[in-house]
Structure formats: structure tokens, C-alpha cells
Structure 1
Amino acid sequence: MILLKKIAKTILIIIFVIVVIAVLFMKLWQPFGQGINDNDKKLYSEKTELFYDGTFHGNPEISVMNESKSEFSDHEQTVPKDKIPIHQLDSIPNTSDDDLKWVWFGHSSSMLQMQGLNILIDPAFSEYASPMQGFGAKRFSDLPISKENLPVIDVLVISHDHYDHLDYGTIKDIDDKVKSYCVPLGVEKHLIRFGVDENKIHSMAWWDEVKIGGLTITSTPGRHYTGRLPWQTNTTLWSGYVFQNEKYKAYYTGDTGYGEHFKEIYEKFGAMDFVILEDGQYDKSWEAIHLLPEQGIQAMKDLQAKWIVPVHWGTFSLSYHAWDDPIRQMTALAQKENMNVATPRIGEIVDYDNIQQFQEKWWEDIE
């Protein structure tokens, strides 16, 4: 009996030590980001009616998961066997005020060039979309440019705080190139924890505007959720962005399910010249928070989009569909609807004046 008591006591001590270490790890490991405090909660509730009871809420409220069964089998090739062909870049040239150019880095990471500004969107350049490298979804396409060769970033925008969109390693490596950040409410806490100067950060509620050098950036609604730790769900906001100058209107959807917000964006801004559309990592069981291809087509109609480029695919596998299912479905559906979809390779610089040239179905040659 005495021996059993000693064993039980030892086990309890070991469990206690493990719990303490785990808690300390969660608090001290910078990539997890930073939670919000009571002052933040008061500020957010003053800035938006979407924040109450300690979290942000959708409009309308959504359920992240539903009871639908996945339409994809376990045999889908979620990662290609072959290397994805990319266009390697030594540099990204500056542009003029009249240009609209865009380059895709894979997944949702890209650079939009408008008004002579370099706008970096959701850069996730690490090997894994994870708080700890070596775990989680692994990159299966190469970066087209080294982080060292990126130009000065006038604005870095983040749509939400999931690891495939807000990447600690990338922020740490390129922050000295970044002049300013535009992020949804709450995400500023993560950036400050990462070491970013808070004076560079614009924290935005939906429909807030920031004007930079002749370009207006507006935070727009979406249907998604957030969180870098299970007990911090929706303590930060999620959003898309509209970029507008006197010549062009461009829109990045961010991660979102289909909803009335696309029509609202059209009503506020008019027809979109260029849409960076989420298209990938979807499933019927979570269609409330990610666009299925046919819903992406409907979003194009709602926005009266002249051209779209599909993103959120081609780099990280986070769903059950084949790695190229998003682009195959999107291009086929768009052709039936007589809608314009550009399909550049990762690393190709798309000039909006010649966007119709980017129609290669390069994924068809990859196993």
C-alpha cells in the first residue's frame, strides 16, 4: 500500500510538471501570438458591434462545421508527385502610379502593385503552416523569390490570424522591409508580440479605411473565424480588403464562405476590375467558411468582376480535395459562364493591361 501511494504521488507530480511546462510553453512561445485583455475588449466593443461577450461574431452568425459528409475520398492526391513549375524571380521591379500588377507566391500569399505601392498580402513563406516548424501542413511548392530579394513593402495586409495567413517566421524575417501594416482588430496584438513596432500598425474594423499615397484600403466583411490556440477562438477579427485609386478597384476576399457581403461590396464600390479570390481548401462540411468553386463563380457575378485570380491553393494541403481540384473546377465553371479567370504560374508578374495572356493550364502536365 505504501509503495502504491508513492507511485501515485510520483505520477501526480509528473502530471503537474507536464501541465506547468505546457502552460509556460503556450505563454512563452512567440509564434502562438498574444491574447487580448480587458482594455482590448472595451476598445473593440467601441469600434464594432460585432464584438461582445469577449469575442467577435459573424454577421450573420455561422457554424464553422456542419454535418455534411466530405465529397472527397481518401484516395485524392492532395499533394502533387511532381514539382510545381514556378517562375523564379531575382527581383520585383517598381511600378508607376497607373499600373496594376500582381504576383502570386503560392497559397494566399501575393503582392499587389497599385499607385506605385508594393502591397504584400498574407505572406506565409515558411516551410510549414504551423506554430512549430516540422509539424503541420508542409509546403509543396517553392517560393519564387527569396525573402532577401523582396522589395520595400509599403503596406502588408493580413486577412486573419490562422497560421497559413499570419506566419511568425515570415514577419520576423521581413519586418525591417515593411513600412506599415493593415490588420483586422486583434491581430495587432500578435504583431506586437512578434516584435513589430505598434506605430506601424493600422487595426481595422469592417468598412474602416486607410489612405496611403493616393490608395484607399478598406477592410471588408467575410464569413470565417479566427484563432491560433483552441481557447482563443474569434478573439481577433477576420476580413477582406478593397484597394482603390482613381483608375482601378481591386479586391482580396480573404478566407470566406459565400454570403451577402459580396453584393454589399459591389453596392459600395461598384464593379471590381481585379479580384484575388479564395479558391481552395474547401469541403461541404465547412462551406460556411470557405468558398466552393460554384460559390466562387456566384461571388464573381455578385461583384461583377472583370478578372479574377484564384488563390488559397497550390502550396499547402489543408483539405481533402486533390491539390489541383480548385483550379480545374474554377476554370471549367468560368468557361461555361463566360467569365474571365487568369491562371498565372507562381512567380509570374501579371500586368493587368495584358492579363488575358495568362491562360495556360500548366497544372495539367503535373502528376
Structure 2
Amino acid sequence: MSRFLIPGLRSLRSAAFGADPSGARLARIRRSPNFSVAEGSFQNPVGARTRPTGSTLEFAKIYFRKEERVRRGPAGTVPVHATTLADLAKPPVGGLRVTWMGHSSVLVEIDGRRVLFDPVWGERCSPFSFAGPKRLHPVPVPLEALGPVDAVVISHDHYDHLDMPTIKALTGTDTVFAVPLGVGAHLERWGVPADRLRELDWHESAKVSGLTLTATPARHFCGRGLRNQQHTLWASWVVAGSEHRVYHSGDTGYFAGFQEIGAAHGPFDVTMIQIGAYSEYWPDIHMTPAEGMQAHLDLQGGEPRGVLLPIHWGTFNLAPHAWSEPGEDTMAAARRAGAAIALPCPGEPFEPGSGSVPTAPWWRGVALTP
């Protein structure tokens, strides 16, 4: 009976669920060396458990217990730098400026071009306006006030990285969208013209406005709907300009491939590394701060070069750990490694080579004390 219901269910799906790859796109997916035809899904570079491990009951107790819910959010108003056009009007003195907009959304101004990673301006990372993880702080700047962007880069299709309202708003601009293989189906459904898509498999590159954008491996998974066909790839990204290089991890568990990425594309002026939403229940698909620091070192050839910007924390409540824990543990990991980190509050621009990178623990004023 279910086979007769599926077409009807498809027609009822919210547009936010996106679209399944089909036609030439699906054929290309099936030819990918990273796709298993036998299993009908993309494969990780090393094995990864993509579903929570351990007792579901124990996890539910921890996640929904009132005192645990309280510690996973700030105790006061999160400080946000009200980014203005004046902040961004002057080109960066050294040719590279980075503005963390919260979670994994980052504006990178690099060698005269502007790249926006994983833009999520929505109030919830969810297909629904009334349910799902809600923002813990406002966006630092309205999307329409951000100014022109040369490229929007998407790491994967989970709701906290690919936000339909944000993408729809950006379709009215001239920006090019760089996405992992298969993700273009979602964007086309939301109105992005095919000629503005650069859809890449791992180790493939595209030239956009003089920048080289390269999709690199990550250890994660994909999916936006209940059926979750695993027909969209996940990726980390390298963006290289004439003078600077940056790396965005997307979501990933730790794996030895960071060394290979660094050897092929590094070293980097800035690495934007996922260090939040980790848990012992899903250790293979999200890194802890200590693992994130090791990834940074691997990407830099084993040396504490460049600056690490911690991302994927502070904006949405997605894991059992305390809200401030990723920031505190990243600071501790940086001290142990002798590495430079940037700790801007959301919306605060900084230039990695300026010698004035923000390092104050801004969250302590609103974090619950243990």
C-alpha cells in the first residue's frame, strides 16, 4: 500500500523539505566514487554512526530534564555586535576580514571578494515556523543590509546550515551558490537558476569571481525529510584567493582526512571549525573542542599557524552540553596547543592578520555558573 501513498505524500511535502535529486543530477550522483549504489547512499571517508548511540531513554531524560534544558541556554541577553554597512564599507586593510554571524554562518571578505558560508537568517532551524530549535540571539545584520555577495557556500542540507527563507531571499541577488553534489535540487526548487549553481563532489573545484572554491571531505550525513534518502553529499570547503586561503569545516566528526586536506590546500589564514553540538551519543559526526583544535593543527601541517574561529555554537540549542561549554573548552584547547583563536561575539568583524583579533570570553557575562 505504501508505494501508492508515496506520490501523494510527496505532493503534500512542505517546500522547506526541498527536493530529491532526479534525472541527470541523480545519474551524476550514482557515478560518484563517494556514492554506494549497493547501499543507495553517499559514504563517509571513514566509518561513522549517524544515529545516536546508547540508550534512547537515558538521552531523553538528560535532554528534556528541566535543569538540563536551563543550562543549555544563556542566562541573559546574548551580546550581539550590530554590524552595519559602515563596518563593512571599507575593504580590509590586509585583504581578509571575517564576520561570524552566529552558528556556522560566516561572511568572509577575501582578496576583494565576499563569500557567505552556511547563511541561516531564519528564526528556527526547522521546516516549520512553529517548532524546532529557536534562535538564542537575533541575527547581527538584516540580510538585505549585508551588501553584495559573490558566492554563497553551503556545507550540507541540514536545517541549521541550509535555510529555505534565506536562500529564497538571496535568489534576488546576483550571487553564485556553491553546494555539495545533490544539494542543488533543493535550491532549484526554491527558485535558484541552474546557471547560478556550482554543484561539486569532493575534490572538485569551481572558479567564482577569481576565487577557487573546492569541496573537500567531511564526516557527517545529510537529509531534510522523513525519508532521508542520503542522496545529497556533505562537505567542508576551501576558498582560495590570490593572497589568502580559508577553510570551513561544515559539520564533521574528527578523521585523519584533515591532514590530507591541509597538505593539498593549506596552510590557511583562518580555519572555521565546528566545535559545538557534540555529544557522546553521536561522537562520529560532530567534533568536541579538543578534536576541533586537533583538526585545526592537522589542517595547518601540524603547526599552530593561522587563526581558528570556533563555529556551530552559541546560536541554537542542539545538544546536551552547557551553552558556554564549547567556548570555554576551545579556549583551554588553544592554550594547550599554543594556537591563536578568534572569539568574536556574533556580528563582530575581525581581520586575522591585524594583531587585534578578539579573544575575550564574551559569553561569561550571560552564562549560567556551574
TM-score by length of 2: 0.88
**Contact 1:314–1:324 (CA<8 Å) still a contact in 2?**
yes
Conserved 8 A contact 2:176-2:208: no
8 Å Cα contact 2:26/2:182 also seen in 1: no
Mapped to 1, the partners of 2:50 and 2:355 lie a distance apart of: 35
1:177 to partner: Cα distance:
2.2
Per the TM alignment, residue 213 of structure 1 is displaced from its structure 2 partner at its CA by 3.0
Could you tell me which amino acid in structure 2 is paired with residue 128 of structure 1? R
Pick aligned residue for 2:48 from 52, 62, 72? 62
More displaced, 255-264 or 333-342? 333-342
Deviations 1:323-355 (A, max 9, x none): 111111111121122111110111111112225
Question: What is the aligned counterpart of 1:237 among 233, 254, 260?
Answer: 233
Work out the CA distance in 2 between the residues paired with 1:47 and 1:220.
14
**The one of 77, 95, 98 aligned to 1:99:** 95
Q: Distance in 2 between matches of 1:324 and 1:104?
A: 17
Q: Counterpart in 2 of 1:332?
A: 332
**Which of 269, 273, 293 is 2:269 aligned to?**
273
* Counterpart residue identity of residue 11, structure 2: L
CA distance in 2, matches of 1:199, 1:334: 42
Whose radius of gyration is greater, 1 or 2?
A: 1
Separation of aligned partners in 1, 2:296 and 2:356: 17
Corresponding residue to 2:119 among 117, 120, 123: 123
Q: Partners of 1:310 and 1:31 in 2: how far apart?
A: 28
- Aligned 8 A contact 1:342 1:356 in 2: no
Q: Distance in 1 between matches of 2:269 and 2:10?
A: 48
Partner of 1:188: 184
Distance 2:340 2:92 in 1: 25
CA contact (8 A) 2:150 2:209 kept: no
Deviation at 1:225, TM superposition (A): 0.1
Aligned to 2:81: 87
Equivalences, count = 348
**Contact 1:186-1:235 at 8 Å conserved across structures:** yes
- Cα distance, 1:269–1:22 mapped onto 2, change above 3 Å: closer
Q: Secondary structure at the match of 1:232?
A: coil
Aligned equivalent of 1:33, options 13, 18, 21: 18
Tell me, yes or no, if the aligned pair for 1:56 and 1:237 is still in contact at 8 Å. yes
User: Relative to 1, partners in 2 of residues 1:337 and 1:34: Cα closer, same or farther, differing over 3 Å?
Assistant: same
> Could you say what the CA RMSD is over the residues aligned between the two structures, in angstroms?
2.2
C-alpha displacement of 1:50: 2.9
Q: 8 Å contact 1:103–1:112 — kept in the other structure?
A: yes
Residue number among 30, 33, 58 corresponding to 1:45 in the alignment? 30
Deviation sequence 1:217-266 (CA, Å, 0-9, x none): 11110000000013124210000111112322210011000001101111
Instruction: Tell me which moved more, 91-100 or 218-227.
Output: 91-100
CA distance in 2, matches of 1:61, 1:336: 29
Could you tell me which runs of 5 or more consecutive residues in structure 1 were left unpaired when the two chains were aligned.
1-17
| Unaligned residue ranges in structure 2 (runs of 5+) | none
Question: TM-score w.r.t. structure 1 length?
Answer: 0.89
**1:60 & 1:35 partners in 2: Cα distance?**
25
- Separation in 1, partners of 2:260, 2:126: 34
For the structure 1 residues 219 and 23, does the alpha-carbon distance in structure 2 shift closer, same or farther, using more than 3 Å as the test? closer
Q: Tell me if the contact between 1:224 and 1:255 (Cα under 8 Å) persists in the aligned partners.
A: yes
1:119-268 alignment to 2 at 5 Å?
A: 119-268=115-264
Distance 1:185 1:20 in 2: 24
Mapped to 2, the partners of 1:72 and 1:62 lie a distance apart of 23
Contact 1:55 / 1:234 at 8 angstroms: preserved in 2? yes
Percent identical pairs in the alignment equals 32
Cα distance, 1:60 vs structure 2: 2.1
Runs of 4 or more off by more than 4 Å in structure 1?
A: 18-23, 68-74
Q: Distance in 2 between matches of 1:151 and 1:167?
A: 19
Separation of aligned partners in 2, 1:44 and 1:51: 9
